[in-house]
A = this chain, B = another copy of it.
Amino acid sequence: MKRSHRVAAICQILTESPGEVFPLKYFCDMFGAAKSSISEDIAAAREAVSVTELGYIETLPGASGGARYIPDISLEKARKIQHDICRLLQEEGRILGGGFLYTSDIMYNPATVQGMARIFAKKFRESGADYVATIETKGIPVALMTAQFLNLPVIVIRRDTKISEGATVSINYSTGSSERLQRMSISKRAAAPGSKVLIIDDFMRGGGSIKGIEEILYEMDLKVVGKGIAIVDINPQTKKVNDYFPIIHLEAVDEVTRAVRAVPNIDIF
């Protein structure tokens, strides 16, 4: 196999499994080549991918060493993703009763969600998280893809208690302007006590759900190391939580004029 083909195939293999370490031996066996050749191939692959600004290749020295692909995003591409989401949110006909916005088509579109997840993954790469946690339902796709980019498992907190979760920890929390009482639960098997958790969700208004997630994770002896929320309504201005990272700010949803104003978080990286 030609060297240039090996380099290209290495790019494909690493890109397919972000964050996963591939030992040199993996490629030696696959291509029937010596370690020294594969090392040079990986160096060439690293140089090649550096121009695309989609991600970079890290090499890890030593016996357990190898190479892995770290997805990345440039500020320019992140801005484009933010503007695309704002444009979608401002499309006509999204306003539902009660000032809610229809966002399911955005939050369930793999390509759009991948863009958001790429921003979260870059922001929280150094957070030390062992898990990505979210609450059902609409935050699951963006949490899953963020977790994929960070090579971490996901914890899904349920809004009710399911037999299929085994023993659970539950809390009550209040949400919405009416402070309606709700319940969330998490399987006791979901994570090892003492682990670090990154919270990712699709939407926040007052922050009641996110505060509930923090509380239930605390009950599980888990430490929150970051909070990423795709869309944050700027109202109410006083939130129940601090230190959250929004991708988009929702500035206004006017039920009378049917106008929506969404703006990018300008302070992302």
Using CB atoms, name the residue of chain B closest to A158: B137
18 more A-B residue pairs beyond the given contacts A6-B48, A110-B153, A136-B137, with a C-beta to C-beta distance below 8 A: A3-B4, A4-B7, A5-B47, A5-B48, A7-B48, A9-B11, A97-B163, A102-B189, A104-B164, A104-B190, A105-B189, A108-B144, A108-B155, A109-B153, A111-B148, A140-B140, A141-B144, A144-B145
Q: How many residues of A contact B (CB 8 A)?
A: 65
**Cα(A55)–Cα(B8), bound, Å:** 13
Does A165 lie within 8 Å of B48, measured CB to CB? no
User: Could you give, for residues 187-205 of chain A, a 1 whenever the CB lies within 8 Å of some chain B CB and a 0 otherwise?
Assistant: 1011000000000000000
Chain B residue numbers with a CB within 8 Å of A48 are 4-9, 12
Report A198 CB to chain B, min CB distance, Å. 14
User: Which of B3, B5, B52, B109 is within 8 Å of A9, CB to CB?
Assistant: B52
- Also in contact, A148 and B114, with CB within 8 A (given A9-B52, A12-B15): yes
**Cα(A239)–Cα(B218), bound, Å:** 42
Does B165 lie within 8 Å of A137, measured CB to CB? no
Chain B residue numbers with a CB within 8 Å of A213 are none
Report A109 CB to chain B, min CB distance, Å. 5
A residues 150-198 near B (Cβ < 8 Å) are 151-156, 158, 163-166, 187, 189-190
